[in-house]
Chain A
């Protein structure tokens, strides 16, 4: 384990290079370039807020703000899970030919998505300002921690899925179906209060629930994250990360052969 960490540290610049490549390479050659990082989630927010506030008449104050705050972390998570599933396969040529710690691939992928989320938080902050809600700075101190927890959760899942997909290609399709459903069991388009009492425990089993809720607490309700959520998110994230790392370590040995 220690050796692994050391090895990964030695390859930190590979992670940095790949993240740079991912971020800079993605929009190279497109007219709007980096702006797409903002346009994409923004459009999503516009559509959802139109649908939910006009048609469903959701009774949430400043619904667009509530939606944006939940949507940005979700976009990051969704990207990590769906893209993370295929990221190792996508680099098959490299994996088959070159020796490097394979964890670098999912780590780079999740990290580049994470950087994207950081950029997209500009929109979130802007929305907070526009809404006139303002910031509560004591709460804001928790923001990096919550982001880190989400990063760990996403990375753990990406590690496990990217390794599993090498052996089992259906994973990609299964995951895409799963993600479609997952967004609706996460309090992004509704508040937890909307959930009937008997299902509330159930929705807490969703590891994204405490994370999205804490984003809401910090930026929407302007309170410090509550203890139960912090504990829950910490448990989920650490468990997902450790499990993912373990699965990856077990499966990575035969990557080159399976691909």
Chain B
């Protein structure tokens, strides 16, 4: 029995027995002392089971492929085989030297030459100097970097770098070779070469465990495929059979996924359309609201402006009126100098180019009077002030009865007082023919074209008295009774 086990073990290169592997997934890895002290609870973690009881064996010289979707535990399995990780439960036994093509170019120093780096890199895979020296030529030949091998690797292109790295890795003769998805190195020709080399290695009796997503490569090189799903072996068997099943499942999954994604996209689109519509509607509402607001504002502004203009106009008018009024009052004021008998209600107008400076009503004796008798003779003396030396000035005089009835008026001819020296009075002699009544005296100084220079209305009140009490009315008419 024990002998059997021994025989078996010699035939078995890899024995994975009911292996479980959990990873701690920290919510927020509190790695510093402070955090651990301050909040021990923060170091809470969740155990994620990556491998959940996996068992398989690989015979000597067999090539086994691990397939499965991303995150199913393929790479973890490889790392367990190389003893980078250790299982939480179960046992991993590997007989013979393991070489893993998991990490390429480990320990490469950019400033060191290709040759020096071959030594470093190969020694990391556990080769001794002697072994490396023996393989040196094969490695360089395989890498096709003969011309560059003594240049620092920092001068290499990334393709050359990977070729060198791969050349080292694949020339490490091992009893068990682990390959993780690295056959995608370099150009197509180099990939083919790597693949051929892998087949050659297999032909030499090396046990190979390979992880790849390329089914073509798997079919060509593997004797058996192990399909891992959710940390457990779902199926294992001949490559074609398992591969087809896997691809079918993946395709189904892919289709499911596509359908799922399409539905999600549709839902997403619908949602977005709804949102977009809603947004548009809101925007429009907003726009309308704004426009209405603007209109209202504009209207208010216009109204306010019109109101202001109106007010201004009124104020200007008022001001003008006030000024006019003030001027008028001022001019009325001047009337006091014109005549000592100036009446309070007298008004003065005209443009002021020629002014009356003095008016006197005198009787025969030259006495200023306010009461005139019917039938007696009087004279009105008017003195003009003509600063502009106007040549043609017309002086008019008028009598208006107290109650506003215009009774009499006349004016000078232009020539009549021409040539009079400045300041000499213009005399208007008249015989009073009014009966009893009170009369306001009006004067005008104007151009022949009737542009009024000075206008004095109601300067003084003359009271007319008649000795003959038989006559009634306005005039003393020449009459005779027979």
Instruction: State A16–B79 Cα separation when bound (angstroms).
Output: 26
- Find out whether the CB atom of B111 lies under 8 angstroms from the CB atom of A97: no
Whole-angstrom distance between the Cβ of B201 and the nearest chain A Cβ: 19
Q: Is A257 an interface residue (CB 8 A)?
A: yes
Instruction: State A56–B261 Cα separation when bound (angstroms).
Output: 78
- Find out whether the CB atom of B103 lies under 8 angstroms from the CB atom of A94: yes
- Find out whether the CB atom of A98 lies under 8 angstroms from the CB atom of B120: no
Q: Is A43 an interface residue (CB 8 A)?
A: no
Interface size class of A (residues with CB under 8 A): 20 to 34
Across the interface, name the chain A residue whose C-beta is closest to B107.
A94
- Find out whether the CB atom of B107 lies under 8 angstroms from the CB atom of A97: no
B residues 119-134 touching A (CB-CB < 8 Å): 119-120, 123-129, 132
Q: Is B354 an interface residue (CB 8 A)?
A: no
Q: Is B406 an interface residue (CB 8 A)?
A: no
Q: Is A169 an interface residue (CB 8 A)?
A: yes
* Given A14-B126, A98-B84, A256-B79 contact (CB < 8 Å): yes
Instruction: State A2–B476 Cα separation when bound (angstroms).
Output: 170
Q: Is A4 an interface residue (CB 8 A)?
A: no
B residues 59-95 touching A (CB-CB < 8 Å): 79, 82-86
- Find out whether the CB atom of B107 lies under 8 angstroms from the CB atom of A21: yes
Q: Is B430 an interface residue (CB 8 A)?
A: no
Whole-angstrom distance between the Cβ of A60 and the nearest chain B Cβ: 40
Q: In the complex, which of the residues A16, A98, A254 contacts B100, with contact meaning CB atoms closer than 8 Å?
A: A98
- Find out whether the CB atom of B103 lies under 8 angstroms from the CB atom of A93: yes
Q: Is B188 an interface residue (CB 8 A)?
A: no
- Find out whether the CB atom of B31 lies under 8 angstroms from the CB atom of A13: no
Instruction: State A98–B111 Cα separation when bound (angstroms).
Output: 22
Task: Give a binary string over A32-52; 1 marks a CB under 8 Å from any B CB, 0 the rest.
Answer: 000000000000000000000
Interface centre among B24, B83, B103, B120 (most CB of A within 10 A): B120
* Given A24-B112, A28-B112, A100-B126, A170-B107 contact (CB < 8 Å): no
B residues 349-405 touching A (CB-CB < 8 Å): none
Q: In the complex, which of the residues B23, B106, B116, B119 contacts A98, with contact meaning CB atoms closer than 8 Å?
A: B106
Q: Is B98 an interface residue (CB 8 A)?
A: yes
* Given A21-B112, A256-B79, A14-B124 contact (CB < 8 Å): yes
Whole-angstrom distance between the Cβ of B101 and the nearest chain A Cβ: 10
- Find out whether the CB atom of A18 lies under 8 angstroms from the CB atom of B128: no
Q: Is A132 an interface residue (CB 8 A)?
A: no
Instruction: State A28–B152 Cα separation when bound (angstroms).
Output: 11
- Find out whether the CB atom of A25 lies under 8 angstroms from the CB atom of B109: yes
Q: Is A228 an interface residue (CB 8 A)?
A: no
Q: Is A29 an interface residue (CB 8 A)?
A: yes
- Find out whether the CB atom of A169 lies under 8 angstroms from the CB atom of B32: yes
Query: A residues within 8 A CB of B125?
Result: 98, 100
Across the interface, name the chain A residue whose C-beta is closest to B35.
A170
Instruction: State A167–B33 Cα separation when bound (angstroms).
Output: 11
- Find out whether the CB atom of A21 lies under 8 angstroms from the CB atom of B102: no
Whole-angstrom distance between the Cβ of A170 and the nearest chain B Cβ: 4
Across the interface, name the chain B residue whose C-beta is closest to A97.
B103
- Find out whether the CB atom of B33 lies under 8 angstroms from the CB atom of A13: no
- Find out whether the CB atom of A25 lies under 8 angstroms from the CB atom of B112: yes
Across the interface, name the chain B residue whose C-beta is closest to A255.
B84
Task: Give a binary string over A90-102; 1 marks a CB under 8 Å from any B CB, 0 the rest.
Answer: 0001111111100
Query: B residues within 8 A CB of A98?
Result: 82, 84, 100, 102-103, 106, 124-125
- Find out whether the CB atom of A97 lies under 8 angstroms from the CB atom of B123: no
Query: A residues within 8 A CB of B86?
Result: 253-254
Instruction: State A14–B120 Cα separation when bound (angstroms).
Output: 7
Q: Is A17 an interface residue (CB 8 A)?
A: yes
Instruction: State A111–B351 Cα separation when bound (angstroms).
Output: 123
Across the interface, name the chain A residue whose C-beta is closest to B119.
A17
Q: Is A133 an interface residue (CB 8 A)?
A: no
- Find out whether the CB atom of A99 lies under 8 angstroms from the CB atom of B82: yes
Whole-angstrom distance between the Cβ of B174 and the nearest chain A Cβ: 11
Instruction: State A112–B196 Cα separation when bound (angstroms).
Output: 40
- Find out whether the CB atom of B106 lies under 8 angstroms from the CB atom of A17: no
Across the interface, name the chain B residue whose C-beta is closest to A94.
B106
Q: Is A137 an interface residue (CB 8 A)?
A: no
Q: Is A119 an interface residue (CB 8 A)?
A: no
Query: B residues within 8 A CB of A18?
Result: 107, 120, 123
Instruction: State A95–B15 Cα separation when bound (angstroms).
Output: 24
Whole-angstrom distance between the Cβ of A88 and the nearest chain B Cβ: 14
- Find out whether the CB atom of B126 lies under 8 angstroms from the CB atom of A10: yes
Q: Is A12 an interface residue (CB 8 A)?
A: yes
Interface centre among B24, B85, B100, B123 (most CB of A within 10 A): B123
Q: Is A168 an interface residue (CB 8 A)?
A: yes
* Given A17-B107, A28-B112, A99-B83 contact (CB < 8 Å): yes
Instruction: State A28–B129 Cα separation when bound (angstroms).
Output: 23
Instruction: State A254–B85 Cα separation when bound (angstroms).
Output: 7
Query: A residues within 8 A CB of B123?
Result: 11, 13-14, 16-18
Instruction: State A16–B129 Cα separation when bound (angstroms).
Output: 9
Query: B residues within 8 A CB of A167?
Result: 31
Interface centre among A18, A96, A98, A253 (most CB of B within 10 A): A98
Query: A residues within 8 A CB of B102?
Result: 97-98
Provide a sorted-by-A list of 28 A–B residue pairs whose CB atoms are within 8 angstroms: A10-B126, A11-B126, A12-B128, A13-B123, A16-B123, A16-B129, A17-B107, A17-B119, A18-B123, A21-B112, A24-B116, A28-B112, A93-B103, A94-B106, A94-B124, A95-B84, A97-B102, A97-B103, A97-B106, A98-B84, A98-B125, A99-B98, A100-B124, A100-B126, A168-B32, A168-B33, A169-B32, A170-B33
The 4 A-B residue pairs with the shortest CB-CB distance in the complex, in nearest-first order: A97-B103, A28-B111, A99-B82, A14-B123
Not counting A97-B102, A99-B100, A256-B85, a sample of 14 additional A-B residue pairs whose C-beta atoms are within 8 angstroms of each other reads A13-B129, A13-B132, A14-B123, A16-B129, A20-B116, A20-B120, A21-B107, A25-B111, A28-B111, A97-B84, A169-B32, A170-B31, A170-B32, A253-B86
